[in-house]
Amino acid sequence: MSATPRFSSGLANSSGLVGKYLMFNYTSRALGVFEHDLNEYKSVQVTRIVHDFYDSDPKRGFYGGGGLDARIGPQPTTWAIRTATEGPSWGREFKARLREFPRSMQIACHTTSLPLESNNVTLDPELKDAWELPAIRVTYKDHPDDLAIARFLQDRGVEVLEAAGAQRVGRSPVTEQDFGLHLLGTCRMGNDPRASVVDKYHRAHDVPNLFVCDGSSLVTSGRGQPTMTIQALAFRAGEHIAGFAKRGEI
């Protein structure tokens, strides 16, 4: 909605790539119930110590890698409804599964999402918001390799839980994503203004005093949990912005 006579495709969008190459990342899950209380909801939530499958291996037949971490799963009610492998979501059996929560552990398998131009954020041509402005439309479909690595790592998570002595192990379904928590891409970084939105300093190619300092500049998704990378890039961008300002370049 920032289109003007100067920027006919929207601000800083001469490449036509603003909003494109959206990446969600994927998290598949293996769920275990143990004999004794683990109380995973206490203390440190993330213990990502398994990077054995971090790199992509062509022998698997698909692209992708990621890390495993053991952490608290969904909270008790969600645990019973969403992650129980069978049984009703009410009554005595429901309560029994609620009581399993302190004995539960989740292995979260954080994976790769391939950058696809078809995964994008656009303006809906018909739907309007309360102010009669175009609503946001997100179009997303996981690449088959994204789902393949999610299943592969989930298998490894199951192996970890079984080796740790879980009495029962379940899996969350690996299906195509319809929402995302780690939003990456849409203003990709690059040297060529025709193929990217910002340069290596996070500076928009089209607008010298516009900087985009978040996960949208990433051209690949990494292996999940991008917060620290985004923070590091933001600090780096801040230093360059200060330098540009001192030199009178913005």
Tokens of 172: 């969350």
Q: Are residues 169 and 215 in the same domain?
A: no
Q: Are residues 46 and 99 in the same domain?
A: yes
Q: Are residues 139 and 195 in the same domain?
A: no
Q: Are residues 92 and 17 in the same domain?
A: no
Q: Are residues 189 and 175 in the same domain?
A: no
The pTM (predicted TM-score) of the whole model is 0.88
| Residue that finishes a domain, picked among 181, 200, 215 | 181
What is the per-residue pLDDT for 39?
A: 81
Q: Are residues 85 and 167 in the same domain?
A: yes
Q: Are residues 111 and 13 in the same domain?
A: no
| Residue that finishes a domain, picked among 161, 181, 201 | 181
Q: What is the CATH number of the domain that holds 246?
A: 3.50.50.60
Q: Are residues 71 and 114 in the same domain?
A: yes
d(CA 109, CA 146): 12
d(CA 8, CA 71): 47
Q: Are residues 175 and 245 in the same domain?
A: no
Question: What is the domain extent for residue 65?
Answer: 25-181
Q: What is the mean pLDDT of each run of 10 residues along the chain (250 residues)?
A: 90 96 92 89 70 94 92 71 65 82 89 95 94 95 96 97 94 90 92 97 95 94 84 95 94
Q: Are residues 1 and 37 in the same domain?
A: no
What is the per-residue pLDDT for 227?
A: 87
User: In what helix (H) or strand (E) does residue 158 lie, and over which residues does it extend?
Assistant: helix 144-163
Structural domains of the chain, count: 2
What is the per-residue pLDDT for 87?
A: 72
Tell me the CA distances in angstroms from 60 to 55, 110, 135, 147, one per residue in order. Answer: 11, 17, 41, 13
Q: Are residues 106 and 196 in the same domain?
A: no
Across the chain, how many H-helices and E-strands are there?
A: 4, 7
Torsion from C-alpha of 151, 156, 160, 163, nearest 10 degrees: 110
What is the per-residue pLDDT for 218?
A: 95
Q: Cα angle at 20 between 60 and 53, to 5 degrees?
A: 20
Q: Are residues 171 and 52 in the same domain?
A: yes
